Amino acid sequence: MSSSDVYANAGDIFFVRGASLLSRAIRFTERHIGSGGGAVNHVGVIVTDGLVQNVTEVEALSHVRIATLWRSYASGGDRVAIYRDTRLTPTLRASVATRARQYVGDTYGYGKIILHFLDWCLFGAYVFRRLGGMDRYPICSWVVAFAYFRGASITFGTPPAEASPNTIYAHVVAHPEWFMRVRELEALTP
């Protein structure tokens, strides 16, 4: 089955393992005791139903944006996985997607990256991010964690403000009874 034959639903979570130097640096700082260690460096929420080449997604990059998953990730060396929370009813899937869309246009929390690094120096403790009080400036994991928390009362094994791409991924992979893998972590190809 090719990548384009995969059907995604609104509310599905996509994970990215990027090929860039920045992606590798993010994965490196995700490596600490109990983290599951740097498998992915980015996460977002799919907000429409359809074949992978047609779905739109919400993600935090330089700002929170809505884009087509295929256009964003079908070229280059990035690998993308998609997981579906099987506990979500159609109403909850729509609620998660609506919550994610509400963040579109928000300014990215660049300062949070520095706070994540400082917390990494403390073996992943949630100290500097809590003291920084920067919740109105989202990063990718914040968008996903709060879309799920506010849209469906679901967390990923940690309070939403503490989530990182890798903690969300580790939680999803550790709970196959709740999360179905829709697509392996591999390049998007026709």
What pLDDT, on the 0 to 100 scale, is given for residue 106?
78
What pLDDT, on the 0 to 100 scale, is given for residue 25?
57
Backbone angles phi, psi at 131, to 5 degrees: -70, -30
What pLDDT, on the 0 to 100 scale, is given for residue 120?
59
What pLDDT, on the 0 to 100 scale, is given for residue 132?
58
Q: How far apart are the first and last CA of the chain?
A: 10
Q: Look at residues 107, 128, 111 and name the one whose alpha carbon lies nearest to residue 119.
A: 128
What pLDDT, on the 0 to 100 scale, is given for residue 113?
61
CA-based Rg of the chain, rounded to a whole angstrom? Answer: 15
What pLDDT, on the 0 to 100 scale, is given for residue 63?
85
Sheet holding 42-46, edge to edge: 64-68, 56-60, 42-46, 13-17, 79-85, 179-186
What pLDDT, on the 0 to 100 scale, is given for residue 111?
52
What pLDDT, on the 0 to 100 scale, is given for residue 75?
77
Question: CATH number of the domain at 3-186, please?
Answer: 3.90.1720.10
Mean pLDDT (10-residue bins), the chain, 190 residues = 78 84 58 58 94 94 90 84 97 98 79 60 62 64 95 94 87 96 87
